[in-house]
Amino acid sequence: MKPFIHDDFLLTTRTARRLYHKFAEAEPILDFHCHLPPRDLAENRRFANLFEIWLEGDHYKWRAMRSNGVDERYCTGDATPYEKFLAWARTVPQTLRNPLYHWTHLELKRYFGINLLLSEETAPIIWERANARLATPQLTAQGILCRFNVRLVGTTDDPTDDLRHHAKLAQAGLPFKVVPTFRPDKALQIHQTEAWNAWVDKLAAAADVEIASWDDFLEALSRRHEAFARLGARASDHGLETAFATFTTEARLRAIFRKARAGKPVTPEERDAFATHVMLHVGRLNAAKGWVMQLHLGAMRNNNTRRFQQLGPDTGFDSIGDFPQARNLAAFLDRLDQEDALPRTILYNLNPADNYVFGTMLGNFMDGRVPGKIQFGPAWWFLDQKEGMEWQLNALSNLGLLSRFVGMVTDSRSFMSYPRHEYYRRVLCNLLGRDVENGELPNDDALLGPLIRNLCYRNARSYFGFDDLPDSAPNDTTRPKPSRVRG
At 476, is the pLDDT very low, low, confident or very high (cuts 50, 70, 90)? Answer: very low
Q: What is the rounded CA–CA span in Å between residue 111 and residue 130?
A: 8
Counted domains in the chain? 2
- Say whether both 194 and 134 belong to one domain: no
- Say whether both 22 and 104 belong to one domain: no
The pTM assigned to this predicted structure is: 0.95
- Say whether both 35 and 51 belong to one domain: no
> Phi and psi at residue 369, in whole multiples of 5°?
-105, -35
- Say whether both 129 and 234 belong to one domain: no
The SS3 of residue 159 is: coil
Q: Is the pLDDT of residue 386 over 60?
A: yes
Task: Quote the pLDDT of residue 478.
Answer: 39
- Residue 265 CA, chain-centre distance (Å), reads 33
- Mean per-residue pLDDT, 361-379: 97
End-of-domain residue from the set 87, 113, 139: 139
- Asked if residue 4 belongs to a domain, the reply is no
Q: What is the rounded CA–CA span in Å between residue 275 and residue 279?
A: 6
- Residue 304 CA, chain-centre distance (Å), reads 24
- Of the candidates 483, 456, 338, 465, the one whose C-alpha atom is nearest the C-alpha of residue 23 is 456
- Mean per-residue pLDDT, 220-243: 98
End-to-end CA distance of the chain: 18
- Say whether both 106 and 254 belong to one domain: no
Q: Which helix (H) or strand (E) holds 404?
A: none
Whether residue 373 contacts residue 293, with contact meaning beta carbons closer than 8 Å, is answered with: no
- Of the candidates 66, 64, 47, 129, the one whose C-alpha atom is nearest the C-alpha of residue 416 is 47
No. of H helices and E strands in the chain? Answer: 20, 9
- Mean per-residue pLDDT, 104-110: 98
- Say whether both 304 and 277 belong to one domain: yes
Q: Is the pLDDT of residue 429 over 80?
A: yes
Task: Quote the pLDDT of residue 471.
Answer: 82
Q: H helices of 4-68, where?
A: 14-19, 38-42, 50-54, 59-67
b/e map of 37-75 (b: 16 or more CB within 10 Å)? ebebbbeebbbebbbbbbbeebbbbbbbbbeeebeeebb
- Say whether both 94 and 209 belong to one domain: no
At 484, is the pLDDT very low, low, confident or very high (cuts 50, 70, 90)? Answer: very low
Task: Quote the pLDDT of residue 134.
Answer: 98
Residue 470, number of CB atoms within 10 A of its CB: 11
DSSP string for residues in 355-391 = HHHHHHHHHHS--SSSTT-EEEPPP-GGG-SHHHHHH
Average pLDDT along the chain: 95
- Asked if residue 179 belongs to a domain, the reply is yes
Supply the range of the domain harboring residue 100.
46-139
Task: Quote the pLDDT of residue 485.
Answer: 36
- Say whether both 190 and 277 belong to one domain: yes
- Of the candidates 456, 390, 448, the one whose C-alpha atom is nearest the C-alpha of residue 425 is 456
Q: Which of 78-92, 209-223, 239-253, 469-483 has the lowest mean pLDDT?
A: 469-483
End-of-domain residue from the set 139, 163, 192: 139
Q: Is the pLDDT of residue 479 over 90?
A: no
End-of-domain residue from the set 119, 139, 159: 139
- Say whether both 116 and 190 belong to one domain: no
Indicate the burial class of 319 (C-beta count within 10 angstroms; 0-12, 13-18, 19 or more).
middle
- Mean per-residue pLDDT, 367-381: 96
- Say whether both 445 and 325 belong to one domain: yes
Q: What is the CATH number of the domain that holds 120?
A: 1.10.2020.10
- Asked if residue 85 belongs to a domain, the reply is yes
- Say whether both 175 and 324 belong to one domain: yes
At 483, is the pLDDT very low, low, confident or very high (cuts 50, 70, 90)? Answer: very low
DSSP string for residues in 261-306 = HTT----HHHHHHHHHHHHHHHHHHHHHHT-EEEEEE-EE----HH
Q: Which helix (H) or strand (E) holds 12?
A: none
Please compute, for residue 454, the number of CA atoms within 13 A of its CA located in the half-sphere on the CB side: 16
Q: What is the CATH number of the domain that holds 274?
A: 3.20.20.140
- Say whether both 251 and 348 belong to one domain: yes
Q: What's the pLDDT tens digit per position in 24-34? A: 999 999 999 99
* Overall size of the chain counted in residues: 487
Q: What is the CA angle 19-396-291, rounded to 5? A: 100
- Asked if residue 144 belongs to a domain, the reply is no
- Asked if residue 394 belongs to a domain, the reply is yes
- Asked if residue 123 belongs to a domain, the reply is yes
Task: Quote the pLDDT of residue 4.
Answer: 97
- Asked if residue 334 belongs to a domain, the reply is yes
Task: Quote the pLDDT of residue 451.
Answer: 98
At 131, is the pLDDT very low, low, confident or very high (cuts 50, 70, 90)? Answer: very high
- Asked if residue 108 belongs to a domain, the reply is yes
Q: What is the rounded CA–CA span in Å between residue 213 and residue 215?
A: 5
